[in-house]
Chains A and B, each alone.
Chain A
Amino acid sequence: MITLSHYLLISAALFSLGIMGVLTRKNAVNVLMGIELILNSANINLVAFSRYSSNGIDGQMFAIIVIVVAASEVAVALAMVLTMYRLLRTVNLDQADTLKPTCKVCATSIPN
């Protein structure tokens, strides 16, 4: 018997893997893949709850909206990545750190 918990566990796994991908990857396109995993996990949650927790299909509508947003986000992100590649010849986030502060003790940018 497949219950709600099974779906939620799958999405929990995808979410955690997405988080790990985002935290450990240096290549910008790889980080984008991690972000897509996060969005997909949230979508699975929404559709599962739409089936088990609500009387309409609101969750599915929300999921469609999320897919649209994800597509636009990837388009813009890749445009930015391509621009970066044109300027720097690399998409390694480690090497794109010219915005570091002049002092050493300030809070730094996103962990890479």
Chain B
Amino acid sequence: MSASDIIFLIVAVVTVGSAAIVVLSRSLIYSAFSLLFTFFGVAIIYVYLGADFLAGTQVLIYVGGILVLLLFGVMLTHRLYSLNLRTETFQVIPGFLIALAVFISLALVSTRTNWHVVADKPLVPTTDTIGTLFLTEYLLPFEIASILLLVALIGAAMLVRRRADI
């Protein structure tokens, strides 16, 4: 086992472990901050997969945007002294069993399927290729994504503004 393998193992454990804390923790704040570690772990996994630009995007948008939004959501919807959340026990068991069944099927799928494999490629920086692709092959998704963002902007702004008429 080389050093990079050991680091990968640690990252994997941290990612899955913090995801477990997100789901199982009784405190909303602990969940939110464990999600931070999960997102970082995913970003490092992207680096291992050679997706350098994507890793940067993940950190920027997921940690810097989505997680901050979630923290806002947590903070703005609770009275500060009652940040603890208790889940009823009887519901955790069926949920856990379903999740376990899902995991077992997916684990079998992950290991036993004959995936479509191609020859090993060297790890190259991807930013250049991504930029070109977004202006050629993926032009339409690029433009539609901007419409999507516009709609989200309009919708979110409309929902939270206080005055009845602008």
Contacts and interface: CB of A to CB of B under 8 A. Distances in A.
Direct A–B contact present (CB less than 8 angstroms): yes
Interface of A: 1-2, 4-21, 23-30, 32-34, 36-37, 40, 43-44, 47-57, 60-61, 63-65, 67-76, 78-83, 85, 91
Contacts of B166: none
The A contact surface, by secondary structure, is: helix
A79 to B, nearest CB: 4
Interface of B: 5, 8, 12, 15-16, 19-20, 22-23, 28, 31-32, 35, 38-39, 42, 45-46, 48-51, 53-54, 57-58, 61-62, 65-66, 69-70, 72-74, 76-77, 85, 87, 91-92, 94-96, 98-100, 102-103, 106-107, 109-111, 115-118, 121, 126, 129-130, 133-134, 138, 141, 145, 148-149, 151-153, 155-156, 159-160
B70 A63 contact: no
A6 B8 CA distance: 10
Contact of B51 (A1, A34, A63): A63
5 contacts: A9-B110, A23-B99, A24-B23, A32-B70, A50-B49
Given A20-B95, A37-B38, A80-B159, A13 B22 contact: no
Contact of A16 (B38, B53, B106, B126): B106
Contacts of A25: 23, 87
Interface of chain B, main secondary structure: helix
Nearest to A55: B118
Contacts of B116: 53-54
Contact of A20 (B58, B96, B129, B133): B96
A10 B99 contact: no
Interface centre among B35, B100, B103 (most CB of A within 10 A): B103
Given A13-B19, A27-B85, A33-B31, A2 B58 contact: no
A88 B34 CA distance: 28
Contacts of A14: 15-16, 19, 38
A7 B46 CA distance: 10
Given A74-B66, A76-B155, A82-B159, 7 more contacts: A12-B103, A16-B106, A20-B98, A30-B28, A40-B39, A70-B66, A78-B156
